[in-house]
């Protein structure tokens, strides 16, 4: 593709490059529009104004499927939706508190009610489908009674724990934040939801200034824990709010080893440490759904890459 124009907060325009070595794409011009609100995005698809939209939540997927000219296509996300944790901020510096927060989340309800079954309950910080994913691990447990007990052992004194969320940065982020808030309150946690603008979230991400927990959608860029867990949680990484000497030693050794048996053992140990200290609280591995015009032949990528080369994107023509 060749760059044509860019309009801030509106669109970017690209045109086909006839000299591309992999072959010319199946269209002359690509216009990517910024439609952050879900209702206008779905309306544009249903009216035929756009060919493809991203981040379709399950409730809107039913509308798209019911329309004669549109379909929904999805893939199990090659990553996780997690609540990342500022483990340097009390009471989140106490592993018992974070264990309680995880135990107080009914992930099955979130998958069933908010995602209409379009998701998987995680078992740890490694996404299903990744290299070294351990299928023998059980799904993360829901046990509000045990959550209250661990809060008691931690000496939790009703300190406020803030869930920082946007409304649409990730599919379903605000409704999930509100659901988690209710679950935590039921377990005796003084939880508060704060809604951020995208720009504020981006600045907090750069400054590492989140004050509690916040939604993150780590993507496994290599389909390997090195491209997700270690890339984001290692020393100096974007979500470096917590350090553990053994975790750091294992992650660094696994990165440079070509011995897959050794690497598998290292990631098992790192998973165990993560499930004790919870630098992330995994919530769901969702299906990422897209809305398409039926005339479009396109297969979504689990890593959220919008692959539009000719082998993956074509128009059905009469």
CA–CA gap between residue 32 and residue 23 (Å, rounded):
21
Q: Are 36 and 174 in contact (CB under 8 A)?
A: no
The CA radius of gyration of the chain, in Å to the nearest whole number, is: 21
Structure-token pair, residue 10: 């509106």
pLDDT digits (tens, 9 = 90+) for 275-289: 999 999 999 999 999
Chain-centre distance for alpha carbon 138: 20
In angstroms, the Cα distances linking 291 to 73, 192, 303 are 7, 33, 17
Summarize pLDDT for 147-173 with one digit per residue, the tens: 999 999 999 999 999 999 998 888 889
pLDDT digits (tens, 9 = 90+) for 79-106: 999 999 999 999 999 999 999 999 999 9
Give the Å distances, CA to CA, from 18 to 1, 156, 298. 9, 63, 21
Check residue 41 and give its pLDDT: 92
Rounded to whole angstroms, what are the CA distances from 189 to 77, 147, 160, 274? Answer: 30, 10, 8, 21
pLDDT at 169: 84
**Contacts (Cβ under 8 Å, ≥6 apart) of 301:** 75, 307
Calculate what percentage of the chain has a pLDDT beyond 70: 100
Of 186, 241, 201, 211, which is closest to residue 178 (Cα–Cα)?
186
The pTM of this model reads 0.89
Question: What pLDDT, on a 0 to 100 scale, did the predictor assign at position 266?
Answer: 98
160 SS3 class: strand
Q: What is the pLDDT of residue 48?
A: 95
Residue 40: per-residue pLDDT: 92
* Dihedrals phi, psi of 48, to nearest 5 degrees: 80, 15
Q: What pLDDT was estimated at residue 9?
A: 86
> Tell me, what DSSP letter sits at residue 140?
P
The answer on pLDDT for 318 being more than 80 is no
pLDDT, average across residues 190-199? 95
Place of tokens 């994107």: 313
Residue-wise pLDDT tens digits, 56-79: 988 899 899 999 999 999 999 999
* Distance in angstroms (rounded) separating the CA atoms of residues 56 and 72: 8
Which of these, 1, 211, 209, lies nearest to 89 by C-alpha position?
211
The per-residue pLDDT for range 227-271, each reduced to its tens digit, is 999 999 999 999 999 999 999 999 999 999 999 999 999 999 999
Structural domains of the chain ordered from first start:
2-76+287-315 (3.40.190.10), 81-286 (3.10.105.10)
Locate tokens 């599919």: which residue? 171
CA dihedral 175, 176, 177, 181 (to 10 degrees): 100
- pLDDT reading at 181 higher than 90: yes
């Amino acid at each position: 593709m060749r760059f044509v124009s860019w309009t801030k907060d509106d669109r970017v325009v690209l045109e086909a490059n006839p000299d591309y070595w992999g072959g010319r794409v199946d269209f002359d011009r690509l216009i990517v529009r910024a439609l952050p609100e879900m209702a206008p995005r779905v309306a544009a698809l249903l009216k035929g104004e756009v060919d493809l939209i991203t981040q379709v939540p399950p409730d809107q997927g039913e509308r798209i499927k019911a329309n004669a000219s549109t379909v929904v296509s999805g893939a199990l996300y090659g990553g996780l939706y997690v609540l990342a944790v500022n483990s340097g901020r009390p009471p989140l510096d106490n592993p018992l508190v974070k264990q309680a927060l995880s135990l107080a989340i009914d992930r099955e309800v979130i998958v069933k009610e908010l995602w209409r079954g379009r998701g998987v309950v995680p078992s740890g910080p490694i996404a299903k489908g990744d290299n070294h994913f351990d299928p023998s691990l059980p799904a993360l447990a829901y046990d509000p009674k045990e959550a209250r007990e661990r809060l008691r052992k931690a000496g939790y004194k009703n300190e406020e724990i803030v869930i920082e969320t946007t409304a649409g940065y990730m599919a379903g982020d605000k409704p999930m934040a509100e659901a988690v808030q209710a679950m935590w309150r039921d377990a005796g946690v003084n939880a508060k939801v704060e809604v951020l603008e995208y720009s504020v979230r981006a600045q907090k991400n750069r400054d590492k200034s989140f004050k509690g927990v916040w939604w993150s959608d780590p993507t496994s860029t290599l389909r390997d824990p090195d491209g997700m867990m270690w890339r984001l949680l290692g020393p100096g990484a974007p979500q470096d709010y917590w350090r553990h000497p053994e975790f750091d030693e294992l992650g660094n050794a696994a990165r440079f080893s070509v011995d897959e048996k050794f690497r598998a053992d290292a990631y098992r140990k790192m998973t165990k440490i993560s499930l004790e200290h919870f630098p992330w609280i995994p919530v769901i591995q969702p299906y990422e759904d897209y809305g398409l015009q039926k005339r479009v032949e396109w297969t979504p990528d689990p890593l959220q890459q919008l692959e539009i080369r000719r082998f993956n994107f074509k128009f059905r023509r009469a």
